[in-house]
Chain A
Amino acid sequence: MSVLSELNVGQHGVVMALELPESVQNHLMHMGFVPSALVTALRRAPAGDPMVYLVDGLEIALRRETAKSIRVKIPRTLSRQQEQDLLESARQAAQADPVQTDSSQLEAAPVEAIR
């Protein structure tokens, strides 16, 4: 078991549990950090911390000490559903915005996660 702060940019994790005070935990869960949610580490702030995470299509910045209290599983392979979700969103991205069909923009996300 790992924690969210261990994710590198571009890596995914599946939320397992939040170990935070009740009010903070409730707030985070309403922002999408619920058990079994797929979280992607998107980018670091210029100073290296906080990190911006993508969850439910939304970008949320968390400091390392908060992310340390969110336990995640870094999947070797994604579940079929998650894999499909990712592929689907990548496909949509290519359709919705033809300019960014270059593969770098798609982050080759599913491939890396599966690897």
Chain B
Amino acid sequence: MNSCCETPAFVPPSAPAPGGVLRTIALIGPPNAGKSTLFNRLTGLRQKVANYPGVTVEQRMGSMAGVGRPDLTLIDLPGIYSLTPYSEDAKVAVDVLKGRMTGTPKPDAIILVLDSLHLIRQLMLAAPVLALRLPTLVLLNMSDLMESRGGAVDVLQLARELGAPVAQISAAHGIGIDAVPLFLNQHDRPAEAPQRPLTLPVLGNAASTHSWATQVSRNTGYRAPLSAASTRRLDDILLHRIWGPLLFLIVVVAVFEVVFALGQPLSDGFGDLLTKIGDLARPFLPAGWIQSLVLDGAWKGIGSVLVFLPQILLLFLFIGILEDTGYLARAALIADRVMRAIGLNGKAFIPLLSGYACAVPAIMSTRTIENKRDRFATILVTPFMTCSARLPVYLLLIAAFIPNTYVAYGLLSLRTLVMLGLYLAGFLAALATARLLKSSILKSSETPFILELPQYRMPTLRALGLRLLDRSKIFLNQAGRVILLVTLGVWVLAHLPATRTAAGVLTAPELAESLIGRLGHFIEPAIAPLGFNWKVGIGLLSSVLAREVMVSTMGTLYGADPGTQALSLQSAMHHDMTLGGALALMIFFAFAMQCTSTMAIVKRETNSWKWPALQFVYMLVLAYGAAFVVNHVVTAIWG
């Protein structure tokens, strides 16, 4: 099973450090207050962070090695507004906090992270958290922005009002983090009863909590920083009636144009480099089957996928910028009208957009959708969004079959246009399917659309760089395990049964006579109507594990065939398929569910095999039908 987007599980130490009473500390705070950024600082881990509410949707644990306390376990939790959970992710946070989550220890101290830019509202969460009577450290995050924008608060007075230590920090820049180890050392002794806040409101009553928070902020001389000016000026343009949607489209088109115009030369150069490395290694390997297995099998197969790393990283860079600046929430706002027409709301648009990177985290992020039926519908359609694993397949086929000419007065390349068409096809299939689901099995009354728009922030180079690094690691890891195994398997099957010649030398059979050739010919009748030959059939079978495996399998198969061995994978495929078959193959990939990680996560999130099974069959039928139509139409027109 490939682990597309998961971080390794952390097992908390079973015994506490001698003398210490603290073992587990929870990070609590409203959404988008910067808990995960702080978590990464304190643990040295790399939990995903971005600038929109609801990035963290499940608890994550790590040891506090970042501040020299590896004996302590820190739990990062989804953001909550109150201890009365409203959505699935908030329920996770409250369950962990109250010790009701199996597998996660009950925290015995709390770090409450508040965004100091909106202190009054953020203090509303402080009341129920302080009422838990656990040792609590209150951190006012984004204090750098607070200062530069003319806000103020009396920290000492706030500490007195809350009966808990308060410190100002900037998690993004690592300022003031010292407060955490200080707090930990102080509470590590079985010590004095914690201080008590001066007053607490009636818990569970929002109005009373709000007036309490207002009173506290007044007593501490809180002056909210005026920070919305630049955000509002940007929104004047980005949410403009005409410019807003237009800019959104321009951004999307530009992303693809750059992935081609800038990414293609990068990928080509990277591909040449990989071939050279293979050639350099050739003399060091014994001639014969070992050389063939390593170079023509494994290296050619893996290399054919690795080539696309630069282009995938470019795509991730753009998605990272959109997420970190805070634009994603605006996109949700712009899309709300369309989403309403299909029976969902703008919030469902955020998972769909993240689906352009990978469906697995996108499906997890649906936890922020409050209505269960809306959430299931979004989960079921997210795999239609063109994820980065489809990119290698598209890029390979487009480069092989679509001429590099320019249309629309030289503004757009034909290749970009085909690519956009494929992305659009996936998106439209998602919308149509959602509409179908919401008017049939997942019908429900509308839930209110409540969306918080974060202020725009400049993404830090560090954060973007770390994302790309993580993505490269995942990609290489995938290539090194799943793809390597499949590639080796395909190579072995392509070389069996070996026959002994008269001279007693073992030789591989003709590719068509090999085990894999026979399997391929066996399934060929089923896919021939789509314009696919048996090699594509083998590729499709292997791609059920993960879409990009298709490319490596084709690389190995054509590498094993003496007729195409010398050709690049592009020209080999061009040689072997019609235009109709190639376009049909792209459409097939746009619609089919070929990803075991996604099916596993759908099962986990819906708690039943029924939904992933339905999804798999539905997408397969759609993919087959669409590919059939495309093949016949294209062949009829362009022959």
Contacts and interface: CB of A to CB of B under 8 A. Distances in A.
Interface in A1-34: 20, 23-32, 34
Interface string B581-613: 000000000000000000000000000000000
20 contacts: A28-B450, A30-B82, A30-B206, A30-B209, A31-B81, A32-B121, A45-B239, A45-B337, A46-B244, A57-B118, A57-B120, A61-B450, A61-B453, A62-B448, A63-B449, A93-B229, A96-B226, A96-B229, A97-B149, A100-B229
Given A27-B81, A92-B150, A100-B229, 19 more contacts: A24-B447, A27-B86, A30-B81, A30-B209, A32-B121, A34-B206, A34-B211, A45-B336, A45-B337, A46-B240, A48-B337, A56-B118, A57-B117, A61-B333, A61-B451, A62-B450, A63-B345, A96-B227, A97-B229
Contacts of B450: 24, 27-28, 31, 60-62, 66
Interface string A25-54: 111111110110100001111111110101
A45 B333 contact: yes
Contacts of B118: 56-58
Contacts of A100: 229, 233
Find the residue from B117, B211, B245, B337 having the highest chain A CB count within 10 A: B337
B275 to A, nearest CB: 48
A-B residue pairs, 6 tightest by C-beta: A29-B206, A47-B337, A30-B81, A59-B453, A66-B448, A34-B210
A39 to B, nearest CB: 13
A84 interface: no
B121 A56 contact: yes
B124 interface: yes
A65 B269 CA distance: 55
A30 B224 contact: no
B121 A31 contact: yes
Interface in B443-465: 446-453
Nearest to B241: A46
B635 interface: no
A46 B449 contact: no
B229 A23 contact: no
Given A26-B84, A43-B235, A34 B207 contact: yes
A46 to B, nearest CB: 4
Give chain B's interface residue range (CB within 8 Å of chain A): 35 or more
A32 to B, nearest CB: 5
A47 B336 contact: yes
Contacts of A43: 235-236, 239
B261 interface: no
Given A30-B206, A46-B241, A92-B150, A97 B230 contact: yes
Given A92-B226, A96-B150, A60 B451 contact: yes
Interface of A: 20, 23-32, 34-35, 37, 42-50, 52, 54, 56-63, 65-66, 89, 92-93, 95-97, 100, 105
B225 interface: yes
A62 B224 contact: no
Q: Say what secondary structure dominates the interface of chain A.
A: mixed
B333 A96 contact: no
B223 interface: yes
Nearest to B240: A46
Contacts of A60: 450-453
Nearest to A47: B337
A26 B226 contact: no
B86 A46 contact: no
A45 B209 CA distance: 31
A97 B231 CA distance: 12
B452 A31 contact: yes
B120 A56 contact: yes
A24 B448 contact: yes
A42 B229 CA distance: 12
Nearest to B347: A61
B78 interface: no
Contact of A47 (B120, B210, B230, B334): B334
A62 B345 CA distance: 11
